[in-house]
């Protein structure tokens, strides 16, 4: 009997990549029971038809209402829902594997909702882990759900240290490509345009995450995630530059050995390994033909003059707090302002530091997250305050 799968956020980049992996490797052993999207109902419908999926969720209320009235899914004998709670009331079964590939803070509630109803949970939503890891862990333990990190960096760390004790680790390094501005003249940073910032040299991503990669806040987020997932101290984690994105993490052990994990810059590798067991991943090229990619890794320290946002890590408390939600909300708003051409690229990090150091926000360093409503309400409140502050 085939094992059931839920893909939450199937129309986005990670969700679409997951379905490519499923197409090639998963059809014999798995069946997709649930797909979901926010607004992209046309792509969702095509996916449901292609994979014979009988249940879909459209989270956006107005899109759901409009499509439900037209009975587009019903005509294809596909059950349409507006939220996970309504779906699970009619389904009442447990998934073998679920992947959360929704981006942004609003992926948090779907993440917590599905834990009870799945055996394996792969999370590609940074915001959930950054803002509410303690809430996620509580539910993972309560419902005996196995967590699988799906970001390439955390997948790599999991592979490198899964058989090692944390006490044997001396230092962990997450690698960043340096994005489009590693070799860019620092004197020209003030004139960076949107088209320049979203032109990532090794990954194909959406505008928001491409900007986050260009500033390196995305790597700061991944350090926070690694700290929480692997129960480390911030002093044990650092960031290095590796321009080709072939090295995803490096672990230095106390016994003098240093372990690298290398794979091509594609999410297909961590996704495949999160789902498929005892099968061969078919490379498009032999390793011997790619030696040029690993013979010139050019690993280097992060040039702080170009990526000052790395110093944000000095502001993050060791204990889990609502300050991480503040960080996300402020950065999301500033990136939005940049994409709207209301602030310059260089002003993203300047305003981020300025706002995070404000007394009213610093107070949240000592407050632990209690529930989703508290996190979401704070996120919305801080976004509004950030827009009103002198950032334009």
CB burial of residue 347 (10 Å; 0-12, 13-18, 19+)? middle
**Residue 392: its pLDDT value, please?**
47
**Residue 63: its pLDDT value, please?**
97
Instruction: Classify domain 3-150 at the CATH superfamily level.
Output: NAD(P)-binding Rossmann-like Domain (3.40.50.720)
**Residue 95: its pLDDT value, please?**
97
User: Could you list the pLDDT tens digit for every one of the 392 residues in the chain?
Assistant: 899 999 999 999 999 999 999 999 999 999 999 999 999 999 999 999 999 999 999 999 999 999 999 999 999 999 999 999 999 998 889 999 999 999 899 999 999 999 999 999 999 999 999 999 999 999 999 999 999 999 989 999 999 987 678 889 999 999 999 888 888 888 878 888 888 888 877 777 778 888 999 999 999 999 999 999 999 999 999 999 999 888 999 999 999 999 999 888 889 999 999 999 878 887 666 666 667 767 788 999 999 999 999 999 999 999 999 999 999 999 999 999 999 999 999 999 999 999 999 999 999 999 999 999 999 999 999 999 999 875 54
Is residue 11 within 8 A of residue 92, CB to CB? The reply is no
52-61, long-range: CB within 8 Å, 24+ apart, which pairs? 53/78, 54/78, 54/79, 55/79, 55/81, 55/87, 55/91, 56/80, 56/81, 57/8, 57/81, 57/82, 57/83, 57/84, 57/87, 58/82, 59/83, 59/106, 59/110
Domain ranges of the chain: 3-150, 155-388
**Residue 191: its pLDDT value, please?**
83
């Amino acid at each position: 009997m085939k094992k059931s799968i839920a893909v939450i956020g199937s129309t986005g980049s990670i969700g679409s990549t997951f379905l490519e992996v499923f197409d090639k490797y998963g059809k014999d052993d798995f069946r997709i029971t649930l797909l979901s999207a926010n607004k992209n109902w046309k792509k969702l419908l095509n996916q449901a038809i292609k994979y014979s999926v009988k249940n879909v969720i459209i989270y956006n209320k107005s899109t759901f209402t409009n499509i439900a009235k037209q009975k587009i899914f019903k005509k294809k004998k596909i059950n349409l829902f507006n939220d996970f709670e309504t779906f699970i009331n009619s389904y009442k079964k447990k998934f073998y594997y679920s992947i959360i590939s929704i981006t942004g803070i609003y992926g948090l509630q779907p993440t917590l909702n599905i834990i009870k109803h799945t055996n394996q949970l792969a999370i590609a939503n940074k915001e959930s882990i950054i803002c509410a890891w303690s809430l996620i862990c509580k539910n993972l333990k309560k419902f005996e759900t196995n967590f699988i990190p799906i970001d390439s960096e955390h997948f790599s760390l999991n592979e490198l240290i899964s058989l090692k004790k944390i006490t044997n680790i001396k230092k962990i390094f997450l690698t960043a490509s340096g994005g489009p501005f590693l070799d860019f003249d620092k004197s020209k940073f003030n004139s960076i345009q949107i088209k320049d910032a979203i032109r990532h040299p090794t990954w194909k991503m959406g505008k928001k995450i491409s900007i986050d990669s260009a500033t390196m806040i995305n790597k700061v987020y991944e350090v926070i995630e690694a700290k929480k997932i692997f129960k480390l101290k911030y002093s044990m984690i650092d960031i290095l530059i590796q321009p080709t994105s072939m090295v995803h993490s490096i672990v230095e052990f106390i016994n003098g050995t240093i372990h690298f994990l290398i794979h091509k810059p594609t999410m297909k590798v961590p996704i495949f390994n999160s789902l498929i067991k005892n099968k061969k991943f078919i490379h498009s090229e032999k390793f011997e033909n790619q030696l040029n990619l690993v013979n010139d890794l050019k690993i280097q320290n992060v040039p702080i003059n170009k990526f000052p946002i790395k110093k944000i890590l000095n502001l993050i408390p060791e204990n889990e707090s609502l300050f991480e939600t503040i960080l996300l909300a402020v950065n999301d708003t500033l990136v939005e302002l940049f994409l709207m051409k209301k602030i310059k690229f260089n002003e993203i990090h300047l305003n981020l530091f300025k706002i995070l150091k404000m007394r009213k926000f610093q107070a949240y360093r000592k407050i632990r997250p209690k529930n989703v409503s508290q996190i979401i309400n704070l996120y919305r409140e801080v976004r509004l305050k950030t827009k009103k502050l002198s950032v334009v």
